Structure 1
Amino acid sequence: MPTSAPNSNVETLLKVSGLSAGYGKIGVLNGIDLTVGAGEIVALLGPNGAGKSTLLKAISGLLPRTGTITFGGQDMSKAGPREAVNAGLVHVVEGHRVFTQLSVHDNVMLAGYGMKGSELETRVEEALRFFPEIAEKRNDRAVTLSGGQQQMLAVAQGLVRRPRLLMLDEPSAGLSPVLVDRVLAAAAQLRDAGTAVLLVEQLIEKALKLADRVYALARGSIVLEARTSEDDLPNRLEHAYFGQDVSAPLAS
């Protein structure tokens, strides 16, 4: 299936071609082609077990993979997590991975390990401004935060690096509707500030409302790609998940 590119006036930031990955001898992904444009939000949707989280891990270097990954014009096919982060590709993994016994401030500081003190403090304050709810609790231990606030903290940790592309894996998992909207609103703010977002999300309606383009993943392969402005997209996604015909032409 040909990969739909970002709008013609948008620079392609991430290009994945023929990517395959898995866990040991267990193959999960089969020849994935995907692009993300600079300052674009792309949603990656699909049923449980489709390989969405595996794809993000493969892109960020957390899993061995074959195929080609180009980021910002640089070949990242063999890059590990550290090289990815240094290039501006940051992956916020699923599940509120924060240090619960450290303060909110120290959690964000730790994410910027290796930066100079004055620069790091500037980055910490910049990241916390996206989430006033946790900025007010900067001296509280992370264990005292709600699940939604811990998710905000996890995203803030990723923002310290000023990523060119932020990959978010199920940021709404386990959150109340109000907190889901707050976390996803931060993704929209990031786009407005020029940061691209690759979003794995189960809440299809909210993801389609937020994103510019969407890929559907099922059984380890891309089964649909489209712009979110296209007609009848939710129905086409449902058909794609269950392996039915999705051959209707997509927007160029």
Structure 2
Amino acid sequence: MPISGRETLLEVKSLSAGYGKIGVLNGIDLTVGAGEIVALLGPNGAGKSTLLKALSGLLPRTGKVTFAGRDMSTTGPREAVNAGLVHVVEGHRVFTQLSVHDNVMLAGYGMARRELEGRVEEALAFFPEIAEKRNDRAVTLSGGQQQMLAVAQGLVRHPKLLMLDEPSAGLSPVLVDRVLAAAARLRDAGTAVLLVEQLIEKALNLADRVYALARGSIVLEARTDEPDLPNRLEHAYFGQDVSAPLA
């Protein structure tokens, strides 16, 4: 459950999903509290990215998804974004031939122009390094800067929950720290974050709670301040006995 005192923002019960006839996720139960960072860890192929895609409506799923008090079990990506659930997919998915500014503007398609301009400036303010390049085409940005741009696109909608899929992939340690620091600032501003990350130590230092996913199922849930957590995670990945999830 979310940290005591935080209202539950996202509640997932018995969620299953996959690709066509290929099942990947089996009966996932998960919660994220308002203003909380939750890390989702696990080995390659565990189903982490599949879970984020299912939650954002990019994949069909079964089970129940409740977000901000609303049943979103059958909603698609547009409804999810409009409700404040925003998914930044893995791989720096930006429009390389558009400028930095236009990339962020495009993420707010359909919003009133005056409101959108203000939100673009707010989003870019999280990343001064790319704000300085607002008129440059995205293709000229480094991999780390493109990742910052992808996160800035997600911020335009003022999400209640931002889902980040491996934001550190392919980045230098310095750029990883900059991107993850933005997640910490979002939490301070009241935005919840569901973070898929391979850098376990950095994820645990940032997050309030952690879920471990292996073979399409949640195998561990814990607060990140619990003792011996890295060892418990390793055991969970390989199917050994671990302590029961928190009530």
Separation of aligned partners in 2, 1:21 and 1:75: 17
Q: CA deviation at 1:146?
A: 0.1
Identify which of 244, 247, 250 aligns with 2:246.
Answer: 250
Q: CA deviation at 1:7?
A: 2.0
Counterparts in 2 of 1:220 and 1:249: CA distance versus 1, 3 Å: closer
Q: CA deviation at 1:59?
A: 0.4
Q: CA deviation at 1:104?
A: 0.1
Residues 102-145 of structure 1, C-alpha deviations (whole Å, 9 max, x = no match): 00000000000001111000000000000000000000000000
Q: Which residue number corresponds to residue 162 of structure 2?
A: 166
Worse overlay, 242-251 or 94-103: 242-251
Counterparts in 2 of 1:78 and 1:109: CA distance versus 1, 3 Å: same
Secondary structure at the aligned position of 1:133 is classed as helix
Q: CA deviation at 1:37?
A: 0.1
Separation of aligned partners in 2, 1:223 and 1:106: 42
Unaligned runs of 5+ in 1: 1-5
Secondary structure at the aligned position of 2:204 is classed as helix
Residues 40-61 of structure 1, C-alpha deviations (whole Å, 9 max, x = no match): 0000000000000000000000
TM-score, structure 1 length as denominator? 0.96
Q: CA deviation at 1:248?
A: 5.5
Matches within 5 A, 1:73-92: 73-92=69-88
Secondary structure at the aligned position of 1:175 is classed as coil
Q: Which residue number corresponds to residue 113 of structure 1?
A: 109
> Is contact 2:166-2:197 (8 Å) kept?
yes
1:45 lines up with 2:38 in the alignment: no
Q: Moved runs in structure 1, 4+ residues, more than 4 A?
A: 248-251
TM-score, structure 2 length as denominator? 0.98
Matches within 5 A, 1:1-252: 6-247=2-243, 250=246
Counterparts in 2 of 1:249 and 1:221: CA distance versus 1, 3 Å: closer
Separation of aligned partners in 1, 2:245 and 2:106: 47
Secondary structure at the aligned position of 2:170 is classed as coil
Q: CA deviation at 1:244?
A: 0.3
Counterparts in 2 of 1:249 and 1:107: CA distance versus 1, 3 Å: closer
Separation of aligned partners in 2, 1:236 and 1:210: 18
> Is contact 2:220-2:245 (8 Å) kept?
no
Counterparts in 2 of 1:238 and 1:171: CA distance versus 1, 3 Å: same
Counterparts in 2 of 1:249 and 1:150: CA distance versus 1, 3 Å: closer
> Is contact 2:36-2:192 (8 Å) kept?
yes
Q: CA deviation at 1:235?
A: 0.3
Overall identity of the aligned pairs, in %: 90
Residues 199-250 of structure 1, C-alpha deviations (whole Å, 9 max, x = no match): 0000000000000000000000000000000000000000000000003674
Secondary structure at the aligned position of 1:223 is classed as strand
Counterparts in 2 of 1:40 and 1:23: CA distance versus 1, 3 Å: same
Counterparts in 2 of 1:25 and 1:150: CA distance versus 1, 3 Å: same
Unaligned runs of 5+ in 2: none
Separation of aligned partners in 1, 2:29 and 2:246: 16
How many equivalent pairs are there?
246
Separation of aligned partners in 1, 2:55 and 2:221: 18
Q: CA deviation at 1:99?
A: 0.2
Secondary structure at the aligned position of 1:29 is classed as strand
Q: CA deviation at 1:8?
A: 2.5
Counterparts in 2 of 1:115 and 1:48: CA distance versus 1, 3 Å: same
Residues 132-179 of structure 1, C-alpha deviations (whole Å, 9 max, x = no match): 000000000000000000000000000000000000000000000000
> Is contact 2:56-2:85 (8 Å) kept?
yes
